[in-house]
C-alpha cells in the first residue's frame, strides 16, 4: 500500500504539504478504494481505466488527489538533497528549465530555485484541491465546466516534480531504496495521463526515454 510508506520526522518538513484526505464514506472514497484494489492486481493499464458507470470528472479528481499525495511523499523523502545551493534553478536535465507563474499571484514567470518552485507548485495544487467549487467533495455537487482544463494543468505541473527528481536526485532515491516506489508511482501516473490524454506529449519530453522503457513492457 503506497499510503503506508511515510517519511520520517523533520527532514521532510520543509516542503511537505499535509496529505489531502478524501472524506470516508463518500463516493470518491469508494472510488479511491477501487483504484487501490485494482492497483493491487499489478495491471496498471487496467487499473487506470474508468470504472463502468462512473463519471470521468470524478475519476480524474480522485486520482489527481492521489497523485498529489504520492508526489508530495516522494519529494518529501529527498528534500534534504534539493536545496537552494544544489538546485538554483528548477530543471529536468540540462535542456529543460521551468519558471513559475500561477496566473494570479505571479503573472510573469519567475526564475527560482527548485525547492522554491516545488513549494509554489505544491501550494498552488493544494489550493486547487481544497477549492470546493473546483473539486467538489459532496455528492451531487457538479464539477465546473473548466474542471478538465484545471486538472490537466495540475497534472502537467506535478509531472515536473517527477522529472526533477529523476534528473537531479536519482542517486539519493537509490540510496534511500525508493527506486521501485518512485518507478511504480510514475508508471501509474503516466498510464493514467495516457489513458485520458491529459498531458501534451511535448510536456513529457524530459522523461520520454524512461516513459518508453516503463510502458513498453505493458503494451
The CATH number for 96's domain is: 1.20.140.30
| 5 domain residue, yes or no | no
- The SS3 assignment for 97 reads strand
| 3 domain residue, yes or no | no
Is there a contact between 87 and 114 (Cβ–Cβ < 8 Å)? yes
Q: Is 188 annotated as a binding residue?
A: no
Q: What pTM was computed for the model?
A: 0.88
Higher per-residue confidence, 126 vs 34: 126
| 2 domain residue, yes or no | no
Q: What is the mean pLDDT of residues 62-84?
A: 94
Q: Is 87 annotated as a binding residue?
A: yes
| Domain count within the chain | 1
* Domain span at 161: 27-216
Question: How is residue 198 annotated by DSSP?
Answer: -
Residue 41: per-residue pLDDT: 66
| 144 domain residue, yes or no | yes
Q: How sure is the predictor about 104, in pLDDT bands with cuts at 50, 70 and 90? A: confident
Give per-residue pLDDT as tens, 19-57.
Answer: 778 877 778 888 888 888 777 667 888 889 999 999 999
Residue 6: per-residue pLDDT: 37
- The SS3 assignment for 110 reads strand
| 118 domain residue, yes or no | yes
Q: Is 6 annotated as a binding residue?
A: no
| 185 domain residue, yes or no | yes
| 83 domain residue, yes or no | yes
Sign of dihedral through CA atoms 157, 89, 165, 17? negative
Burial 94-117 (b: 16+ CB within 10 A, else e): eebebebebeeeeeeeeebbbbbb
| 73 domain residue, yes or no | yes
Q: Is 169 annotated as a binding residue?
A: yes
Amino acid at each position: 500500500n503506497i499510503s503506508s510508506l511515510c517519511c520520517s520526522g523533520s527532514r521532510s518538513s520543509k516542503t511537505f504539504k499535509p496529505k489531502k484526505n478524501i472524506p470516508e464514506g463518500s463516493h470518491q472514497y469508494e472510488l479511491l478504494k477501487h483504484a487501490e484494489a485494482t492497483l493491487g492486481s499489478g495491471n496498471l493499464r487496467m487499473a487506470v481505466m474508468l470504472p463502468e458507470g462512473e463519471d470521468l470528472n470524478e475519476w480524474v479528481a480522485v486520482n489527481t488527489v492521489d497523485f498529489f499525495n504520492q508526489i508530495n511523499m516522494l519529494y518529501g523523502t529527498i528534500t534534504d538533497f534539493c536545496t537552494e545551493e544544489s538546485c538554483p534553478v528548477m530543471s529536468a536535465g540540462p535542456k529543460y528549465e521551468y519558471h513559475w507563474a500561477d496566473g494570479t499571484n505571479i503573472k510573469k514567470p519567475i526564475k527560482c530555485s527548485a525547492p522554491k518552485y516545488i513549494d509554489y507548485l505544491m501550494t498552488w495544487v493544494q489550493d486547487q484541491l481544497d477549492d470546493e467549487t473546483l473539486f467538489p467533495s459532496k455528492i451531487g455537487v457538479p464539477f465546473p465546466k473548466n474542471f478538465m482544463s484545471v486538472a490537466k494543468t495540475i497534472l502537467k505541473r506535478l509531472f515536473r516534480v517527477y522529472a526533477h527528481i529523476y534528473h537531479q536526485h536519482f542517486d539519493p532515491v537509490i540510496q534511500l531504496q525508493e527506486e521501485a516506489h518512485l518507478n511504480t508511482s510514475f508508471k501509474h501516473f503516466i498510464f493514467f495521463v495516457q489513458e485520458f490524454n491529459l498531458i501534451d506529449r511535448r510536456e513529457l519530453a524530459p522523461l520520454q526515454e524512461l516513459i518508453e522503457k516503463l510502458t513498453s513492457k505493458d503494451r
